Amino acid sequence: MNCLQSWPEPIVRVQSLSDSGIHVLPDRYIRHPSDRPSFTPISTHANIPVIDLHSLLAARDARLRQATLDRISGACREWGFFQVVNHGVRPELMKSIRQLWRDFFHLPLEAKQVYANSPATYEGYGSRLGVEKGAKLDWSDYFFLNYLPESARDENKWPTTPESCRELVHEYSKAVVELCGILMKILSVNLGLEGDHLQNAFGGDDVGACLRVNYYPKCPQPDLTLGISPHSDPGGMTILLPDDDVSGLQVRKGEHWVTVEPIPDALIVNLGDQIQVISNAIYKSVEHRVIVNSIKERVSLAYFYNPKGDLLIEPAKKLVSKDRPASYSAMTFDQYRLFIRQSGLWGKSQVESLKCSQ
């Protein structure tokens, strides 16, 4: 792990570049023509499914409940992404936590630099993933913190300004973790497993949960770069609180990229590589990326719900048969995410590398 103790080059804050008034992107952010947003076709006639969870959380109508379960199952199999409304997280809390982090990124640079991170844990204020010297960089800054397990939580690394930061992070984290627990049961049942199977495979009460707040400054040449490179999430499940004013998330569907249009008070759910592995590829983690724009900044909060780091993750035995053999080799999540921390984001190459030869 010694190679992960420091960044290979001095860190440049993307927000500082944007605020400096540059009109031409530095070369480190300019993508190869085939990797630029305009190279691949954009679908303007599709959006990820939108699912109302009220029938699962409150209603007693069995038919409506089953219809909702079926919609979630279809979204997991066909998209790997869906938006949820009436999900139990208070809209006022969502607005407050998003504004709080926007205010954090508007603090003077020296106030944020106190929390500058390293690749050892990524906790704190950062501007890159991966430690490859000379690698292309994303047009974004971020703040990363651990919430679960409690042994990994270090509130001294959480901002004290804005004043309500730590209190709101706790409240929002508790609400999102509760939602993740509900969704894990739904996914398990839809796979034909016991309701607690996925949760137990992740470590029961000893799961991991961490928050990455993304800040995408205005960009002088947004057609040449990306806010986040194409990737599938390495963990289990991600709950994304998108910007309420600016779209930017794009999801791959076949050969097209679909721009996700956020719905007021909705959260975006996407499945990570670990659920693809446990489901034996019945559920899919899907490649996604973020585009930026020249007019407005964008803030989003990605909550990652992950397996305990030292547990082996492998296809559920009930989902393996002669007709559907195990598609993936077993690996711990700690081993798996080390690839991302060393190499950055590279599409779905990591999960594909686990495939067993048939």
Is residue 289 in a domain?
yes
Q: Which helix (H) or strand (E) holds 78?
A: helix 62-78
pLDDT score of 111: 97
Amino acid in position 276:
Q
Tell me, yes or no, whether 254 lies in a domain. Answer: yes
Mean pLDDT of the chain: 92
Bridge-based pairing state of the strands 81-85 and 267-271 = antiparallel
Q: What is the pLDDT of residues 8-58, one digit of tens each?
A: 999 999 999 999 999 999 999 999 999 999 766 676 667 899 999 998 887
Given pLDDT bands bounded at 50, 70 and 90, which one contains residue 343? low
Residue 187 has pLDDT above 80, yes or no: yes
CATH number of 309's domain: 2.60.120.330
In-domain check, residue 242? yes
Distance CA 324, CA 311 (A): 24
Range of the domain at 98: 14-354
Report the distance separating Cα 123 and Cα 114, nearest Å. Answer: 12
**Any domain includes 126:** yes
Tally of domains within the chain: 1
CA distance 191 to 195: 9
In the numeric block, which tokens belong to residue 11? 């860190």
Burial of 325 (0-12, 13-18, 19+ CB in 10 A): exposed
| pLDDT at 162 > cutoff 90 | yes
pLDDT band at 2 (very low <50, low <70, confident <90, very high): very low
Q: Is residue 7 part of a domain?
A: no
Instruction: Give the phi and the psi of residue 54 in degrees, each rounded to 5.
Output: -55, -40
Categorize the per-residue pLDDT at 1 as very low, low, confident or very high, splitting at 50, 70 and 90: very low
The pLDDT tens digits of the residues spanning 192-205 come to 999 999 999 999 99
Nearest CA-CA partner of 36 in 238, 224, 169, 261: 224
Residue 4 lies in a domain: no
Instruction: Give tens-digit pLDDT for 237-257.
Output: 999 999 999 999 999 998 889
- Alpha carbon dihedral 165, 169, 170, 174, in 10-degree steps, equals 160
Question: Quick one: average pLDDT of 129-150?
Answer: 94
- Residue 306 has a CB neighbour count (10 Å cut-off) of 25
CA 180 to CA 186: how far, in whole Å? Answer: 10
pLDDT in tens, 293-335: 999 999 999 999 999 999 999 999 999 999 999 999 899 999 8
- Which tens digits make up the pLDDT trace of 80-129? 999 999 999 999 999 999 999 999 999 999 999 999 999 988 999 999 98
Tens digit of each residue's pLDDT (9 = 90 or more) over 116-136: 999 988 999 999 988 889 999
Which backbone phi and psi does 330 adopt, to 5 degrees? -75, 145
pLDDT attached to residue 29: 98
Supply the pLDDT for residue 61. Answer: 84
Interatomic CA distance for residues 311 and 183, integer angstroms: 21
For residues 79 and 249, the answer to whether their CB atoms sit within 8 Å is: no
CB 237 within 8 A of CB 267: no
Residue 3 lies in a domain: no
DSSP assigned state of 270: E
Nearest-angstrom CA–CA distance, 217 and 292: 8
**Residue 162 maps to a domain:** yes
In this predicted structure, the answer to whether residue 69 has a pLDDT above a threshold of 60 is yes
